[in-house]
Chains A and B, each alone.
Chain A
Amino acid sequence: MLKMINVSKKIDGRQVLENVNITLEPGMISGIVGRNGVGKSTLLRTLAGILDPDEGEVTFNEINIHQKPEVKQKLTYVPDSTEILKTYNVKEIVKLYDAIYEDFDVMYFYSLMDRFKLPKNRKLRTYSKGMKALFLMILSFSTKADFIILDEPTNGLDPIVKRNILQFIIEEVSERQLSVLISTHHLEEVEKIADVLIMMKDGQIESTTSIEDAKSSFRKVQAVYKHSLPEKIANLNNVTILSQTGRVYTLMIKGNIEETMKEMQQEQPLLLEELPMTLEDIFISSLGGESHVS
């Protein structure tokens, strides 16, 4: 079990992480989402022991990973940079990882290389960006780690490889109680494979819920009233206006759904219907804020 307990971190005088608490159970895929600059990479790098927390601690199976980094034999991190190891060729990397990780499975690694049709006799720098990302992921899974942290893993991958790799992650997790934490902007991926959704906002964990719970605590509706949206509805704390075209409003209701729907009905709408909802809608309504990218 990987735990982040009351972790805070300042960078350049800015509070990037504030009192972050996360518990990641074995056999789960967790997706971490949040806007740019919200602290996702800092969180992942702190979990991997690259950055030190100013306060709090990170434990893996109850052992502090900063004090006893040896426990990271079973915890690997795949950064979003594909530039690492680029001067190595495949054989050199296999030798290196075999020397680092006690349980590194060379046969398994080569079988994955075959499965994803990656060339074996080349330097990593000759790989395309997508190939490098895929390669680093294969390498990480071949260490037989119990916990794998993936920072933007599908960046640069074409849709077919992306689908294969997501399928592969699901297989690995279901086969050997592996735990995976993925940071990504591709919400449809999280929706497809994650069990747990972690939303980050302003360096804090906004919510940690299962995808089903997340979806059931939101409802997306389209409403049309005779005039504009009644003030009573617009002023509700749990209602966010996603878009407005004339008198047609697309609204997101967060929590207290049935009661809110009743109130909306009481205002005699011309139209009030539920719309299919994606994770993106939840993301925008929960974490959207201002439209600028920070």
Chain B
Amino acid sequence: MFHKALWMRNQKLAAPAVWAVYLSLFFFLPFSFFGRAQSLQTQAEKFNDTQLNFTFHGVEIALFLTLILVGFASLLLGQERTTHSADLTFSLPFKRKDIFLSKWMFGVVHITTGLLVNLLLCMLIIRFTILHEIADASFLLHFMALVIPYSIAIFTFSLFIGTIAGSIVSQFILSLIFLFFPIGFFSLIGTFLMYHGIELDMMYDVNGRFNSFGDFISIATLPVPIFEFAYYTDVVTEIDGSVMDYTRMPDYLVLLSPLLYFAVTFPLGILFFSRTKNENNGRLLVFEKGKGFFSIGVVVCFALAFGMAGGGIFGSYDQPSLLGYYFSAAIGAVLSYFVLRKIMNIRLGLSK
């Protein structure tokens, strides 16, 4: 299954993304930790300040990390479709399954290594700087347990999208849209139901018990639980004898989400890549059969989104206009239908 040649090819294809993974994680994690340790040190020495606090939020790296992971998958897969080099790869004496697995493995190895090494460096920084006095490095282990499976799931998901998208651009955009799809789509459904007199509990709190519709959709949206991770420590309270050291870690049950995503998108990715239609490379989608389903989905979503926006404009806060909702939805549906018809057959590719 492992072919050195495919590894070399992936290295060449995704070299910018590999650099981006290591460098960005380095800047967002150890570099930032060290900078903050230095400023806390100065604060403590110069001003004899006892109000030292240290915080870490998953959102600090999650958004950028998500973009890099999606970009990584797009360089590995979509790029070949755009530059015609997929012809070379598919003419080589390798099974398509092995080509896909080599791309997946290449990404997972670099993502996991990047996260492990940089989080380990962060732990060392906490251990050997002033942070040692105020922070407990174990929060990074919790973060690691969350961010690694989520990153692998996001990367796998984006690679899967690459097996149905026809170009690097469509893979990148569709990956981002579908990564945040549950939260967006269910908000649209929630609004639709609200206009028809059914209220859903859209509030969510992934750190507590899952008991609302909002909880469910936020867990179903891959990157959200990483955003929610937070660590906070404040040395002032230690003077009073009560240590304020708080880790907001989503319930470990949320780890089922990346597991489920992986269990679905990984085998489907292998299947679709093995049956890929290279004649459609450069187009929005690779498979002709999925076009109808995709088009209906896009038109429905745009109709719901236009309805959500338009219903608010036509009605008042406490009395939304159902007529305005449907009128705007119809405009959204018609507009999206025609735009989609135009872009569906555009071939995005570099000249031969």
Contact = CB atoms under 8 A, between A and B. Distances in A.
Contacts of A230: none
Nearest to A79: B87
A47 to B, nearest CB: 10
Interface string B337-351: 000000000000011
B65 to A, nearest CB: 26
Interface stretch (B111-119, B131-139, B170-178, B273-281): B273-281
Interface of A: 11, 42, 45, 48-52, 69-73, 75-77, 79-85, 87-88, 92, 95-96, 99-101
Nearest to B352: A81
B41 to A, nearest CB: 45
Contacts of B12: 87-88, 92, 96
Nearest to B94: A69
Contacts of B109: none
Nearest to A136: B88
B92 A85 contact: no
Contact of B84 (A11, A49, A52, A84): A84
A195 B275 CA distance: 35
B5 interface: yes
B289 interface: no
Given A42-B279, A88-B12, A99-B4, A83 B350 contact: yes
Given A52-B275, A70-B95, A81-B87, 17 more contacts: A42-B279, A49-B90, A50-B278, A51-B279, A69-B93, A69-B96, A72-B91, A75-B93, A77-B91, A81-B352, A83-B84, A83-B350, A83-B351, A99-B5, A99-B8, A100-B92, A101-B93
A96 B5 contact: yes
A88 B352 CA distance: 17
Contact of A72 (B3, B5, B92): B92
Of B12, B87, B91, B92, the most chain A CB neighbours within 10 A belong to B91
Given A11-B279, A51-B278, A84-B83, A96 B8 contact: yes
Interface string B28-72: 000000000000000000000000000000000000000000000
B287 to A, nearest CB: 12
Given A72-B93, A88-B12, A99-B4, A45 B87 contact: yes
